Structures are given as structure tokens and as C-alpha cells.
Amino acid sequence: MESFLKHLNVFSLVLFFFALPISSALQVGFYSSSCPNTENIVRQVVQQRFNADKSVAPALLRMFFHDCFIRGCDASILIDSTTTNQAEKAAGANGSVREYALIDQIKTALEQACPQKVSCADIIALATRDAVSLSGGPMYSVPTGRLDGTISRASEVNLPGPASTVSQIQQAFSARKMTLNDMVILVGGGHSIGRAHCNFFQDRVFNFQGTSKPDPTMDKNLLTKLQNLCSLTFNPATFLDQNTTVVLDNEVYNQMKKNKGILQIDQELALDPLSASIVSSLAANNKLFRQSFVNSMIKMGNLPGTGGEIRKNCRRQN
Ligand code: HEM
Ligand SMILES: *[C@@H]1O[C@H](CO)[C@@H](O)[C@H](O)[C@H]1NC(C)=O
Ligand SMILES: CC(=O)N[C@H]1CO[C@H](CO)[C@@H](O)[C@@H]1O
């Protein structure tokens, strides 16, 4: 710490200490006096949508991840592109982040209850918590008090792809001060609900790494199923967890161990010596998984934004 500080000039020293309270200001129940009904309103809208369509849950979880990994959890993912700015949601890695309209719906309800009090970044975090518990995952308290960012650039979206190695994904997490454990828990937990489209894994079933053959590690029944599925031309999707498809639990790690990972990265988690033993521990213990998932979700939710404001409309800066 001392030697670190020595190398900072006064300006960055001021920034450094100024930055600390912003990230540590998050607290459970942040809106309890400024907008006491916040968490109920969010939950009501998410619950209603979930009753009609369970796939809203994975959509929110993925949105939260994509938001927090670029510029921290600051709702930069929600900003629409303009004629002069390609926003994050236009980037290639966006790959079908969806349910922006649901966030708008929650925002509208909150603006009616308490105008310009609740940030869009907190809406994503709270809605995701509700989505997790509605999907059979753990219930947890979400620290709130995030501010919305004013910058959203497609060119800053540097998310790893599904064919990245475990070590590359680990680096993407450690660059954000998260551990290998956090990584295995969040990627596996995230991929225990929801679906992937063929374009993200069809190389594994038809032409793995240019061999003109399938990925030899894939379970043969799964391979046949996916070859049939991905021969259809409309880019269909399949569940990331082929067994407990819509339940947020540790079964996905058992599927990985049975060579039934859909994305290459999911299969690699079980095969790579870096992560294999973590996968095994989580596969064997759903209680451990649930507790760890909560901890890592809160950690990811603490990634500090550079934000500045509480947007009136989640799709654009004030
Ligand atoms: C960093 C490594 C990761 C990679 C390479 C990755 C990649 C992908 C890909 C390619 C898809 C399929 C998208 C589609 O076809 O529409 C997907 C889906 C999904 N991912 Fe990840 N992901 C990663 C980490 C995470 C994390 C950390 C979470 C959340 C904690 C997460 C949550 C999800 C969810 C919920 C879906 C399903 C979305 C839906 O059904 O709408 N992913 N991911
Ligand atoms: C599906 O999951 C259940 C509960 O985790 C497990 O008992 C069962 O063995 C799994 N079945 C398959 C085919 O993987
Ligand atoms: C919703 C959205 O903006 N999708 C875009 C994701 O990225 C691809 C490739 O860059 C675009 O073609 C999509 O329009």
C-alpha cells in the first residue's frame, strides 16, 4: 500500500480516496426512506412477467453480467445507440441480451411512485435477484445505491467468447478483482438456466477447431441431438443445462462432468485442471453452490461504475 501510494501524484491520490466512498456506499435498503416501496415494485413487475414467461429470468441474469462487466454496474448496457454513438448493446458480444422493455416497465412504475429516486443500475440488480429466487435459486439481500453511467460504447465491450479458455476467462474476472472461484460459480450458475443459440456452439458439433469433426469430448447422445437441431436454418437455441433446464441449481456442474456442457467454455470448466476440482465440489453440494452464488453475485454487483446520475429514462442519459 505504501509503495503503491508513493507512485501516485496528488491528483490521482485525491481521485483514489474520492472513489472509495462511491463504491462502498452501496447498502442494503438504500431506498428505505427515499422510496420505501422500491423492492416490492420491482418484484411485482418481475413476478408478473415471470408467470407469463420463465425465460425472463435468464435474460435478466445475463443482462446484469453484461452490465457489470463493462464500466461496472452502471446500467450502461441499457443506453440506446444514437446517430453519433454505437452503444454497448450494439456490440457483437451483446448476443441477444433481452428484456430491455421489462426494465422500462419497472422504471415507469418507480417513476410514478418516486420520480428520479431509483437508479436503472439498481433496477437491474434488484430484478436479477428476484429472477434468481423465482428460478429456485437462493434469495438474498442486494446492496443498492448505484448511480447510472453517462457513457456506453460498443467499442468497450470486451467480453470473452464461448470458445475462450478457462485461463482467458479467469483473466477477465481477475481484471475485475474476482477470483477463479467466483468465475466458476458465476459462469456455471449463470448457465444453469437459459439457452444458447446454435451460432455460439455449432462449431463443436460440426467442425471443431477446423477438424471437420465434432468436439470429441461431447456426449454422443447430446451430439446427435445438437447436430439435428443446428441443421435447421433459423439458428435455434437449446438449454444450457440439459437436465434441470429452468432451475437455478448446481445440476449444471453434474452435466459438465457428464460431458454435456453446451458451450465450449462450460465443458472446459469440467476438463481444465485449473477449474475441474471446483466444478466437482459444486456438483456435489447444492448448499455450497447456493451460498457461493450469493457471495459472488454480490461481489459482481459491487463492481463500481463511473456514474453520475439517476436517469429519468433508462435508455438515455438525462
Ligand atoms: C465469462 C464467460 C461467459 C461466456 C463466454 C458466456 C457466453 C454465453 C453465451 C455465448 C450465451 C448464449 C447466448 C445466446 O445464445 O443467446 C450465454 C448465455 C447466458 N449467459 Fe453467459 N457467458 C459467460 C458468463 C456468464 C455469467 C458470469 C453469467 C451470469 C452470472 C452468464 C449468464 C448467462 C445466462 C443467464 C444466459 C442465458 C441467456 C438467455 O437464455 O437469454 N454468463 N452466455
Ligand atoms: C437430473 O438431475 C437430477 C437432480 O439433480 C438427478 O438426480 C438426475 O440424475 C439427473 N439426470 C440426468 C439424466 O442427468
Ligand atoms: C440487439 C442488438 O443490438 N443486436 C446486435 C448485436 O450485435 C450484432 C453483431 O454486431 C448486431 O448485428 C446486432 O444487431
pLDDT digits (tens, 9 = 90+) for 163-209: 999 999 999 999 999 999 999 999 999 999 999 999 999 999 999 99
Q: Which ligand is nearest to the CA of 219?
A: 2
3-class SS at 196? strand
φ, ψ at 41 (rounded to 5°): -65, -45
Residue 90 CB less than 6 A away from ligand 3: yes
Of 289, 280, 232, nearest to 256 (Cα)?
A: 280
pLDDT in the model for residue 25: 79
DSSP state of 275: T
Burial of 73 (0-12, 13-18, 19+ CB in 10 A): buried
Indicate which atom in ligand 1 lies nearest the CA of residue 55. Answer: 40
Give residues (CB < 6 A) around ligand 2.
243-244, 251
3-class SS at 103? helix
Residue entry with cell 455450497: 288
Of 298, 270, 311, 86, nearest to 166 (Cα)?
A: 270
Is 80 exceeded by the pLDDT of residue 17?
A: no
Probe target for ligand 2 pocket from 193, 254, 286, 290, with the most ligand atoms within 8 Å of CB: 254
φ, ψ at 179 (rounded to 5°): -90, 175
Q: How confident is the model at residue 94 (pLDDT cuts 50, 70, 90)?
A: low
Indicate which atom in ligand 3 lies nearest the CA of residue 97. Answer: 1
The mean of the pLDDT values for the chain is: 93
Q: Taking a C-beta distance cutoff of 8 angstroms, is the pair 146, 302 a contact?
A: no
Which residue's CA is the nearest one to ligand 3's atom 9? 92
C-alpha–C-alpha distance, residues 210 and 215, integer Å: 10
Probe target for ligand 2 pocket from 239, 251, 282, 289, with the most ligand atoms within 8 Å of CB: 251
How many CB atoms neighbour CB 161 within 10 A? 14
Give me the active site residues, please: 66
CA atoms lying within 13 Å on the CB side of residue 218 = 25
Of 166, 183, 165, nearest to 174 (Cα)?
A: 183
Domains in the chain, CATH or no CATH each: 22-158 (1.10.520.10), 166-297 (1.10.420.10)
Indicate which atom in ligand 2 lies nearest the CA of residue 242. Answer: 14
Instruction: Annotate 19-80 with DSSP letters as a single string.
Output: HHHHHHT-EETTTTTTSTTHHHHHHHHHHHHHHH-TTHHHHHHHHHHHHHHTTSSSSGGGPP
pLDDT digits (tens, 9 = 90+) for 110-127: 999 999 999 999 999 999
Give 33's contacts (C-beta < 8 A, 6+ positions apart): none
Residue entry with cell 456442474: 253
Percentages (nearest 5) of helix, strand, coil residues in the chain: 55, 5, 40
Cell numbers for 129, please give them.
435477484
Probe target for ligand 1 pocket from 53, 62, 200, with the most ligand atoms within 8 Å of CB: 62
**Cα end-to-end span (Å), the chain:** 38
Q: Which ligand is nearest to the CA of 90?
A: 3
Q: Which ligand is nearest to the CA of 260?
A: 2
Q: How confident is the model at residue 3 (pLDDT cuts 50, 70, 90)?
A: very low
268 Cα to the center of ligand 1, angstroms: 15
Dihedral of the CA atoms 137, 140, 144, 146 (nearest 10)? -30
pTM score above 0.85: yes
